[in-house]
């Protein structure tokens, strides 16, 4: 029976053979062939309903909402949120 490590090793050897074992090319090909990417609409939905919502609720006269097709109205009030006056006041963490 073949285990996952053996299968991965075989796959890497196959890719290496196709690219004449050029380690730099293999290093670039393997991540591109194995990584999954989040579709743009999901990213827009998440941003519009987190940071976008925070901005719109703190700035009710902002026209930003007109440019956010995935924005969902909610019962959240400004009292429930962090008060911000300018975008530079936000700190985001990307891991």
Position 90 scores a pLDDT of 82
Q: What residues contact residue 26 under an 8 Å CB cut-off, 6+ apart? A: 12, 15, 16, 19
Position 81 scores a pLDDT of 80
What are the structural domain ranges in the chain? 4-34, 40-86
pLDDT digits (tens, 9 = 90+) for 45-93: 999 999 999 899 889 899 999 999 999 998 877 677 888 888 888 887 7
Q: What is the mean pLDDT of residues 24-51?
A: 76
Position 20 scores a pLDDT of 58
């Amino acid at each position: 029976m073949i285990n996952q490590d053996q299968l991965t090793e075989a796959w890497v050897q196959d890719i290496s053979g196709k690219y004449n074992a050029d380690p730099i090319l293999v290093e670039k090909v393997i991540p591109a062939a194995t990584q999954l990417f989040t579709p743009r609409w999901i990213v827009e939905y998440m941003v519009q309903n987190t940071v976008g919502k925070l901005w719109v609720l703190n700035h009710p006269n902002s026209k930003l909402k007109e440019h956010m097709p995935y924005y969902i109205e909610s019962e959240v009030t400004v009292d429930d949120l962090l008060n911000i006056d300018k975008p530079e006041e936000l700190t985001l963490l990307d891991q």
